[in-house]
Structure 1
Amino acid sequence: MKEITSPAVSSSIKKLLSYATFEEKVDEEYKKYVCLPSRKLYSMEVNEETVSCIGVEFLNSKKAVIKHIAVLPKERGKGIGSSMIRFLCKKHDIHSIFAETDKEAVNFYSKFGFQITSLGEKYPGVKRFLFEFKVK
Structure 2
Amino acid sequence: MKEITSTMVNPTIKKLLSYATLEEKVDGEYKKYTCLPSRKLYSMEVNGETISCIGVEFLNSYTAVIKHIAVLPKERGKGIGSCMISFLCKNHDIHSIFAETDKEAVSFYSKFGFQITSLGEKYLGVERFLCEFKVK
Inter-partner Cα distance in structure 2 for 1:135 and 1:35: 27
Q: Equivalent pairs: percent with the same residue?
A: 86
5+ residue gaps in structure 1?
none
1:91 pairs with 2:61: no
5+ residue gaps in structure 2?
none
1:78 is matched with 78
Other structure's SS at 1:59 match: strand
How many residue pairs get aligned? The number is 136
Deviation by residue 1:23-50 (Cα, 9 ceiling, x = unmatched): 1100000000011000000000011000
1:51 is matched with 51
Alignment of 1:1-136 (within 5 A): 1-136=1-136
Other structure's SS at 2:50 match: strand
Runs of 4+ in 1 over 6 A off after TM superposition: none
Report the alpha carbon displacement of residue 9 of structure 1 after superposing the two structures with TM: 1.0
Normalised by the size of structure 2, how large is the TM-score?
A: 0.99
What amino acid is the match of 2:75? E
Inter-partner Cα distance in structure 2 for 1:87 and 1:93: 11
Inter-partner Cα distance in structure 1 for 2:87 and 2:61: 16
What amino acid is the match of 1:135? V
Inter-partner Cα distance in structure 1 for 2:54 and 2:2: 10
Inter-partner Cα distance in structure 2 for 1:104 and 1:8: 31
CA-based RMSD: 0.5
Report the alpha carbon displacement of residue 93 of structure 1 after superposing the two structures with TM: 1.4
Normalised by the size of structure 1, how large is the TM-score?
A: 0.99
